[in-house]
Structure 1
Amino acid sequence: MGGTVAEIELSPAEFVLEETIEAVDGLECEVERVVANADGEVMPFLWVDAPDLEGIDEALEGDETVDNVELLADVDGERLYRMGWVRRVDALVQMLVEEEGTVLSAVGDADGWQFRLLFPDRDSLSRTNDYCRSNGIRFQLHSIYSLEEGRQGRFGLTDDQQDTLEIAFERGYYEIPREADMMALADELDISHQALSERLRRAHRSLVQNTVVIGREGRPDG
């Protein structure tokens, strides 16, 4: 079976890191990988970025929704953390443990958390919805579709990644020979050559993971 994909939104007040997001202006979070166990422990690898990340470690330390925070990498001002999500994660545990769901992508900022989730079938999603309603957990369901219907949707891309891929395609970056190079694209997007390279790498990884890998195995690894 192809499985069912749902794109949902949780408000900051309904999920983790609300205090940290409020404390650090312009903070953007992107889940690299998330796992959950039967004991209700959720352990993500989380990229964070902001115009100024000074003070984020103190904010994370005081945030009651997380613990065991560990900085794994600091790349051009963007940081990768491993941590435990310990509060406000009942809905996510229900999705990942009870219904055997998979997080395809998750990004969060001051406006809320956007999740793209893969469920074994629509009944799993329906049970998750019932669970959330019964426990007073509110979320917005933006779209739902079957992978067998053509794998519609964003394929785990952030807005910046999708915009960059579209511009790169329109400018002929993927033509042979190329009609635009990395420097020209970086100048148009007003970002550094390194930032563009990293954005394209992550976008390409998301496309492969959420198309080729899902189509072959049903559940991507990481």
Structure 2
Amino acid sequence: MSTIAEFSIPVTEFALHDTLERRPDMVFEVDRVVAHETSRVVPFVRATYGEFEGLTGILEDDASVAEVELLADVEGERFYRMVWTERAQIIGYMVAELGATVQEATASDGEWHLRVFFPERDGLSATNEYARESGCSLNVTRIYGVDELEEARHDLSEGQYEALTAGVERGYYDIPREINAQELADELDISHQALSERFRRATKNLVTDTLLVDQNEEDERN
């Protein structure tokens, strides 16, 4: 039976730790990942927020990056093709050895948050065992089956849910606001950039999965 799992990994035990130490406000998001073998992982990574000046050179010096190529540089983001070293071997193991698909991978505030599709349920158990043997801290936060995928697709991630509910409870959405974004980020113990990213992604998910879905259903009925 297929399984989808959401989990986090400290950046110190995975990829781009050196870069995030030097650019702590950056948010990195993997759009796609290819792995032909466990030790050679080729992700396509989007960088947002933070200081972009000198970022490519910082990535070239990162111990987890064997190769880096800047594919696009537009206002507010950069898009890279990278080759990660064996420090990121757990993702190579999941993709190359278990046939898993990385549906989402985002790094900010010292952690990578991943959502991974495993063709077989025992793939998650195998990944947990591989992580343990490799000294990697895998914190699984959610597991669900493919039959729950449509329902889960409409859900927010734990971080997005926390940010939105805290914003409502603390008066961020009130007029006038009772708390600003920096104060709310401080209360959640995350950076201002990470909070903005959570709001952006959460808003996109809610609009896509409610308003646009409802509109498509209405169009079909008409």
TM-score (norm 1): 0.68
**Distance (Å, rounded) in 1 between the aligned partners of 2:68 and 2:88:** 16
- Tell me the number of residue pairs that the alignment of Structure 1 and Structure 2 aligns: 180
Structure 2 matches for 1:99-178, cutoff 5 A? 99-153=98-152
Deviation at residue 11 of structure 1 after TM alignment: 0.3
Greater alpha carbon shift after TM alignment, 49-58 vs 93-102: 49-58
C-alpha change, 1:163 and 1:109, in structure 2 (3 Å) is closer
5+ residue gaps, structure 1, are 165-188, 190-198, 213-222
1:93 counterpart residue number: 92
Structure 2 matches for 1:1-222, cutoff 5 A? 3-38=2-37, 40-153=39-152, 203=204
Residue identity opposite 2:63 in structure 1: E
Deviation at residue 135 of structure 1 after TM alignment: 2.4
- Structure with greater helix percent: 2
**Distance (Å, rounded) in 2 between the aligned partners of 1:47 and 1:59:** 15
- Provide the secondary structure at the position in 1 that maps to 2:86: coil
The Cα RMSD (Å) is 3.5
Q: Show CA shifts across 1:165-211 (max 9, x none).
A: xxxxxxxxxxxxxxxxxxxxxxxx9xxxxxxxxx68x947xx69xxx
| Residue pair 2:65, 2:82 contacting (<8 A) in 1 also | yes
| Residue pair 2:26, 2:108 contacting (<8 A) in 1 also | yes
Deviation at residue 107 of structure 1 after TM alignment: 0.3
Deviation at residue 54 of structure 1 after TM alignment: 1.6
1:179 counterpart residue number: none
Deviation at residue 53 of structure 1 after TM alignment: 1.5
Residue identity opposite 1:59 in structure 2: I
Runs of 4+ in 1 over 2 A off after TM superposition: 149-164
| Residue pair 1:29, 1:107 contacting (<8 A) in 2 also | yes
- Provide the secondary structure at the position in 2 that maps to 1:89: helix
C-alpha change, 1:155 and 1:119, in structure 2 (3 Å) is farther
**Distance (Å, rounded) in 2 between the aligned partners of 1:141 and 1:46:** 23
5+ residue gaps, structure 2, are 165-180, 182-199, 214-222
**Distance (Å, rounded) in 2 between the aligned partners of 1:161 and 1:31:** 21
C-alpha change, 1:28 and 1:96, in structure 2 (3 Å) is same
**Distance (Å, rounded) in 2 between the aligned partners of 1:128 and 1:53:** 34
Residue identity opposite 2:57 in structure 1: E
| Residue pair 1:6, 1:141 contacting (<8 A) in 2 also | yes
Deviation at residue 153 of structure 1 after TM alignment: 3.6
**Distance (Å, rounded) in 2 between the aligned partners of 1:63 and 1:157:** 32
- Provide the secondary structure at the position in 2 that maps to 1:88: helix
